Structure 1
């Protein structure tokens, strides 16, 4: 088994622990402060690139071969891409922390090159295999949106440094966030869930028509939303993008229930059960946000509303889903790599010995409850609650990720 996915996963775990440590040190104050500044950019990019994207890349490198039943185009290119992306990310974070534009600009180019190499490696792998379905098309679209997110981020940096393209920075900023959060993470998680959930539920003969519906609606939402930002269009065009996204999320949840209904394994593990609950909460949040936006079209794009929506989506669904999945993926990968050849021999541990279900369930339940408490603090504007919930959340999150990391010592 290739060691490439482990590099990304292990680095992502370090990024997650680092993010939680700096959030704890700041009493989560950065979240209630000005996000569009060096401190906010540092925390957001550490969370999105250092944790979620880093680990997602590792998952793609591992799962793409399983999905396609073929080899990655170039494992060597994967190692080169890891080095370039990691160095670029480290420099970008240093630039944000120190407020040095030259570091930000140069490192952003490196990070973008890393993203481009990742996109090329996955694209060639997909094209060579030519096995197109909802899973592979979702992955291809997700990688495309990741590349476009990087390009729009670089364009924003150039605009910031030169002062050219007056008025474009705000529009690029909206498209950058929309394509990265909704496009990259949304399509990657939904697409890979079509493979992971049936595998862990041992589900067979479930209907798959809704996968295509989700794919069309989700892509339509990404494109309409990005255009609405870039063209500085009416708020109602952006609301229409939100409507498409909400419809996609609701249909996606219906499909998850279809998979669950056709299961042959009653208990897939705490991580999988919590990932489903997270998706259901996302659907409720999306419907609530859609109604709020229709009733108060002049308020839903204000900083506080966007902050709350971003927290519910990125921390409450994207990050929480990744945390849920790694409780299954990491033990599986490590056991296969270390003990796969010795399966069935005396003294060889079973996969369940690497990570016990009870602490996983307790850890995810604690993180979920604290996510909701923090969201309540953001909703009410109660900074003490936000800070306290965020601090305890950081402690619990570090404890959970240490639990996951200890698998590599088994």
Structure 2
């Protein structure tokens, strides 16, 4: 793989410290979420541990990573300037503080404080939406990635507003005079968070990354598949969330089918890019391959379940027992694969780009430990597979062994995530001679 993909203007991005700090904080949330998941399976954590687990992984690792990635690469891809560097710093610490407080309240059962920290969390995400939104407004016309990102920003606005209402609802009957139930609002919130904000962002990025880093172009059946996803998927998310919010099964059913078709379409497009890749396989592409397979398998299971009953709480994330297939197998592997390129890429640009042509410099894929990358991939595939198996098999088959299998699968996954995070952290430590790049530098800057 080349040092820098052709056509990418790295000088357009903000200082490299900004996205790197997002990624490091996100990795911290990842490890905390994995640990909470293991301890929760043992039943030793107080309060709403499963809810804390989900928020640490989704709002913490995945969304904080999205914040850093969009802040860095929207200006790079779009050839413009980030609207405000100061806001990009504020968004990180506001989201981090709000989420840490929210998780603490959930674990400690301090529900009276949930609206406070929920409000801080909302503020952080809205600062991000404003900053990236203003950046995108300066770009015309939008390509497929930018259109996905704009839709994702809208989903972030709505899902955080729903989340704040749910947080307030722990102490006040805010839904008493509204035509929706708490369960309907909760299901709509989860739908918009995962299928709206997160997956829409992921899909938009994959159109860019899947072609750029396989050095292949969309062609043939890819074009109609892209149209199905780009048009049908966001409509499906809105219909599925609305149907769940107002408990309208027919609306949710139509939306669910459109969402599933969109996921399958993107999975097939990504799979075709990987089959036709012109570059050597690397940690990024291997994890994308796992995600592409998971997309197709998840769709096959989700469609009949959502046609039967899209309002079933067990089917919030597809067929009953496939939540880990969606959240771990698709979202987790895409984010992990992307970070295996993005973090070394940012470090390379800051440390080595100005030396290119004057001295021998390493390639991007030389910055991390490939052996550790292979080990963490094996651990994550095994852990994910066992979690999916434990979740999908009927209780009578496993019986009392369910808890043991979940604990083992969670432990293997935690080891994989620890190796993954450690590999990337060591990449920064080894090649940034002292930690994250300075806040003022871009390429060739000094390091703290």
Q: How high is the TM-score relative to the length of structure 2?
A: 0.84
Cα 1:28–1:241 shift into 2, 3 Å = farther
Cα 1:268–1:208 shift into 2, 3 Å = farther
| Secondary structure, counterpart of 2:368 in structure 1 | coil
Tell me the residue number matched to 1:14. 28
CA distance in 2, matches of 1:306, 1:287: 9
Bigger proportion of residues as helix: 1
Q: Does 1:367 align with 2:368?
A: no
Cα 1:361–1:208 shift into 2, 3 Å = farther
Offset of residue 191 of structure 1: 0.5
Cα 1:271–1:105 shift into 2, 3 Å = same
**Does the 8 Å contact 2:187/2:313 carry over to 1?**
no
Cα 1:251–1:182 shift into 2, 3 Å = same
Q: Does 1:328 align with 2:341?
A: yes
- Size of the aligned set, in residue pairs, is 403
Tell me the residue number matched to 1:355. 368
Tell me the residue number matched to 1:213. 228
CA distance in 1, matches of 2:81, 2:391: 45
**Does the 8 Å contact 1:203/1:262 carry over to 2?**
yes
CA distance in 1, matches of 2:217, 2:298: 30
Q: Does 1:127 align with 2:137?
A: yes
Tell me the residue number matched to 2:314. 302
Offset of residue 165 of structure 1: 2.0
For residue 61 of structure 1, the aligned residue among 35, 56, 71 is: 71
Deviations, residues 259-313 of structure 1 (Å, cap 9, x unaligned): 3465432x2413213213312222212211222444x549954379876232221
CA distance in 2, matches of 1:205, 1:292: 31
Cα 1:389–1:251 shift into 2, 3 Å = same
Cα 1:72–1:246 shift into 2, 3 Å = same
CA distance in 1, matches of 2:63, 2:120: 15
| Secondary structure, counterpart of 2:138 in structure 1 | helix
CA distance in 1, matches of 2:417, 2:218: 37
Offset of residue 93 of structure 1: 1.5
Q: Does 1:100 align with 2:110?
A: yes
**Does the 8 Å contact 1:28/1:386 carry over to 2?**
no
Alignment of 1:307-322 (within 5 A): 308-322=321-335
Tell me the residue number matched to 1:188. 201
Offset of residue 217 of structure 1: 1.3
| Secondary structure, counterpart of 1:308 in structure 2 | coil
| Secondary structure, counterpart of 2:213 in structure 1 | helix
Tell me the residue number matched to 1:41. 51
**Does the 8 Å contact 1:271/1:361 carry over to 2?**
no
CA distance in 2, matches of 1:127, 1:365: 42
Q: Does 1:250 align with 2:260?
A: no
CA distance in 1, matches of 2:145, 2:310: 37
Tell me the residue number matched to 1:387. 407
Cα 1:219–1:205 shift into 2, 3 Å = closer
Q: Does 1:198 align with 2:195?
A: no
CA distance in 2, matches of 1:257, 1:20: 28
Offset of residue 220 of structure 1: 1.2
Cα 1:377–1:306 shift into 2, 3 Å = same
Alignment of 1:25-174 (within 5 A): 25-27=39-41, 29=43, 38-166=48-176, 168-174=181-187
**Does the 8 Å contact 1:300/1:306 carry over to 2?**
no
Tell me the residue number matched to 2:389. 376
**Does the 8 Å contact 1:249/1:283 carry over to 2?**
yes
Deviations, residues 204-227 of structure 1 (Å, cap 9, x unaligned): 474655433311111011110111
Alignment of 1:255-266 (within 5 A): 255-260=269-274, 263-265=277-279
Offset of residue 18 of structure 1: 1.6
**Does the 8 Å contact 2:294/2:326 carry over to 1?**
no
Q: Any stretches of 5+ residues in structure 2 without a counterpart?
A: 1-13, 396-401, 431-448
For residue 352 of structure 2, the aligned residue among 339, 345, 351 is: 339
Aligned Cα root-mean-square deviation (Å): 2.4
Cα 1:29–1:354 shift into 2, 3 Å = farther
Offset of residue 256 of structure 1: 2.0
**Does the 8 Å contact 1:29/1:387 carry over to 2?**
no
Q: How high is the TM-score relative to the length of structure 1?
A: 0.91
Tell me the residue number matched to 1:405. 425
Q: Any stretches of 5+ residues in structure 1 without a counterpart?
A: none
CA distance in 2, matches of 1:28, 1:399: 23
